[in-house]
Amino acid sequence: MDFTSILIAILTLTAGIGVFLVACQMMSSHLEAVSSKRLKQLFSKTGKNKWLGVGIGTVGTAAIQSSGAVTVMVIGFVNVGILSLTQAATIIYGANIGTTVTAQLVALGMFGTNSISTTIIFAAFAGIGAFMTLFSKRNSTKQIGGILTGFGLLFVGLSMMANAMDEFAASEAVRQFLANINNVILLVLVGAILTAIIQSSSVMTTIAITMVVSKLVTLDQGIYLTMGSNIGSCVVALIAGATSGTAAKRTATIHLIFNTMGVIIFMLIGFLLRISTGGDWTFGNLFEQLFPSAPQLQLAMFHTVFNICTMLVAMPLTNALVNLSCRIIKDVPKEKSDEPYLRFLDEQMLRTPVVAIRQMKAEIENMAEQAMQNFQRSIHIVTKLDYSEIEKFRKTEILLNYLNKELVNYTVKLSDKQLNSFDQRFLTSSIRTVSDLERIGDYAENIVEYADALKEQNATFSKEAIAEIMKLEQMILNLYKETLQAYHKLDLEALERANKIEDEIDDFTDIMGRNHIERLVHGVCTPSVGAEYLSLAQNSERIADHLINIGKTIRDLV
């Protein structure tokens, strides 16, 4: 094998890996877009039943063909308290099992005769999917086309990698070099490092399968490379956890401990098997006997058995793993900071739009809560002329402005991702919702300015006026409660109740105007104080308008 042949083989292998990675990403993004609503429902059903968590992790990963994406989702949910560490651990167990589906597909694709193999048949799906994507006008059809294209490209990449491995196998020097790498620890390290670099255990497992099929490495060598890929796959989780909270870091640690534990156990079993049989039996010998004449299936089945057995060992040890992660990642005392920040979102979540959409909704609901707290503070200040919470008010106003800017920017970034029609409509409505909430904060700021004006005049509202303001405040709080119920649960009945309250607020502010005139006539109120009172009523009414606008956005989503 001359230099040119080696160079061509290396370039072909690189191209094959690239195509396979793009195919995995394409399949994952389109599958995630199609099934995002179901995935949200699936994760929400995770309870105290550990086996249910394993099932959800397995099905979720098999559905979107990415254990990394599922792990990042889990970390995101743990970070905001939706999942406990125990629930997260069981889902991760299942994700490791679900990721073996890719290896089984690859093994299936390598069956067939020389004239027509399943690889060629499956690769043809890339063309079918491309035609669907290019010529269909329906978004759902385009997403299905994207899935088929990604599925077909998996086998295009597989074919290129297999061809490259055949070229390497023709070189005696390459074969001799690889044959000398028999140290199982070194093989595991190579598998882990390569997986960490390409950030895909599926690609590493596929490379190992093609190397075994082409007889470039033995089945035992391929098995230990695959075991190493399980450790390397933790890199994605560690990166996601590093930029998140303590709970997220612990989740990533559990993932690493779980995968490393499985590798250590199987390495010990492999060692004992060789010692007890004088080297006659290894994992490779065992799976060759179980699945004769099918090296691709032998390695794929080991991958599946390895992950299932590791899960069975880890299940009774879940609480111990959680406690160990808590000891490794200590609770960090929260430092007080005046700097505003996103409570539920970070850049890592953009990798899994299904999580980012859900977390954006939580961030918007948090912004709504902050806006209404400032409204309540403004009413307290203007009616009592009590400025004890003015600093909290100002910090919250800064936070609202920050959230308005950051959520709009985040929405723009999310809009570039593969999303289903529901999530796309949610993003469109989110920009309007965030703007409405920011305006509520502005009107609360106006009300505080009316308090400043009263203070300068050394004046206050009359008892009757204060009673009306307090009643209006309660009506707006009731409106907020129903609006939030409608927004959070897409509850049209709650929206109908909110509409009725908003009509009552409109009627009541008219009554406030008439009562104010009567108080002016009877000298109970002065014109200067009355101007602040009427402005307050108008601003409160506009706050109600913005709240009902938020509720109305669900009509596009239901």
Residue 32 banded pLDDT, cuts 50, 70, 90: low
Q: Which residue in this structure is represented by tokens 């079993």?
A: 269
Is residue 36 scored above 60 in pLDDT?
no
CA distance 459 to 473: 21
- Which tens digit of pLDDT belongs to each residue from 505-554? 999 999 998 998 888 887 777 777 888 899 999 999 999 999 999 999 99
Query: What rounded mean pLDDT belongs to the chain?
Result: 85
Mean pLDDT for the stretch of residues 465-490: 95
- Among residues 328, 363, 381, the one where a domain terminates is 328
Reading phi first (left if > 0) and then psi (alpha if -120 to 50, else beta), residue 279 is in left
Query: Does any domain span residue 348?
Result: no
pLDDT at 331: 73
CA distance 255 to 230: 10
Pair 254, 169 in one domain? yes
Tokens, residue 345:
């979102």
Is residue 118 scored above 70 in pLDDT?
no
Mean pLDDT for the stretch of residues 455-474: 92
Query: Does any domain span residue 249?
Result: yes
Q: Report the length, in residues, of the chain.
A: 558
CA distances from 111 to 16, 183, 262 (A): 19, 30, 30
- Which tens digit of pLDDT belongs to each residue from 303-349? 999 999 999 999 999 999 999 999 998 876 554 456 888 888 877 67
Q: Facing residues of 117 across strands?
A: 112
- Among residues 328, 343, 373, the one where a domain terminates is 328
CA distance 65 to 208: 19
Query: Does any domain span residue 334?
Result: no
Mean pLDDT for the stretch of residues 252-268: 93
Pair 443, 395 in one domain? yes
Helix orientation angle between 85-98 and 67-79, rounded to the nearest 10 degrees? 170
Enclosing H/E stretch for 188: helix 184-198
pLDDT at 45: 62
The CB density around residue 87, as the number of other CB atoms within 10 Å, is 25
**CATH number for the domain harbouring residue 499:** 1.20.58.220
- Which tens digit of pLDDT belongs to each residue from 225-240? 999 998 988 887 787 6
Is residue 62 scored above 90 in pLDDT?
no
Q: Which residue did the predictor score with more confidence, 298 or 161?
A: 298
pLDDT at 13: 83
Q: Which residue did the predictor score with more confidence, 59 or 128?
A: 128
Tokens, residue 325:
């992660």
Pair 23, 86 in one domain? yes
pLDDT at 451: 93
pLDDT at 333: 58
Is residue 1 scored above 70 in pLDDT?
no
Tokens, residue 134:
């290019």
Tokens, residue 13:
């292998």
Least confident residue range of 2-16, 30-44, 474-488: 30-44
Residue 216 banded pLDDT, cuts 50, 70, 90: confident
Pair 377, 312 in one domain? no
Query: Does any domain span residue 33?
Result: yes
Mean pLDDT for the stretch of residues 4-21: 83
DSSP letter string, 232-296? HTHHHHHHHHHTS-HHHHHHHHHHHHHHHHHHHHHHHHHHHHHHHTTTS--HHHHHHHHSTT-HH
Q: Which residue did the predictor score with more confidence, 101 or 82?
A: 101
Portion of the chain with pLDDT greater than 70, in percent: 89
Pair 216, 143 in one domain? yes
Pair 204, 148 in one domain? yes
Q: From 175, 190, 260, 276, select the one nearest 225 (Cα to Cα).
A: 190
Residue 52 and residue 218 in contact, taking contact as beta carbons nearer than 8 Å: no
Pair 143, 101 in one domain? yes
Tokens, residue 400:
């609202």
Pair 468, 536 in one domain? yes
Q: Which residues contact 151 (CB under 8 A, 6 or more apart)?
A: 23, 27, 122, 125, 126, 129
Query: Does any domain span residue 339?
Result: no
Pair 229, 368 in one domain? no
Q: Which residue in this structure is represented by tokens 């669900």?
A: 554
Pair 237, 304 in one domain? yes
CA distance 367 to 362: 9
Query: Does any domain span residue 344?
Result: no
Mean pLDDT for the stretch of residues 80-90: 80
Query: Does any domain span residue 420?
Result: yes
Query: Does any domain span residue 382?
Result: yes
pLDDT at 244: 65
- Which tens digit of pLDDT belongs to each residue from 370-421? 999 999 999 999 999 999 999 999 999 999 999 999 999 999 998 888 777 8
Is residue 115 scored above 50 in pLDDT?
no
Pair 194, 99 in one domain? yes
Is residue 2 scored above 80 in pLDDT?
no
Q: Which residue did the predictor score with more confidence, 364 or 529?
A: 364
What's the pTM?
Answer: 0.66
Residue 367 and residue 53 in contact, taking contact as beta carbons nearer than 8 Å: no
Q: Which residue did the predictor score with more confidence, 320 or 166?
A: 320
How many domains is the chain partitioned into structurally? 2
Pair 68, 183 in one domain? yes
Is residue 94 scored above 50 in pLDDT?
yes
Range of the domain at 388: 353-556
- Among residues 284, 311, 328, the one where a domain terminates is 328
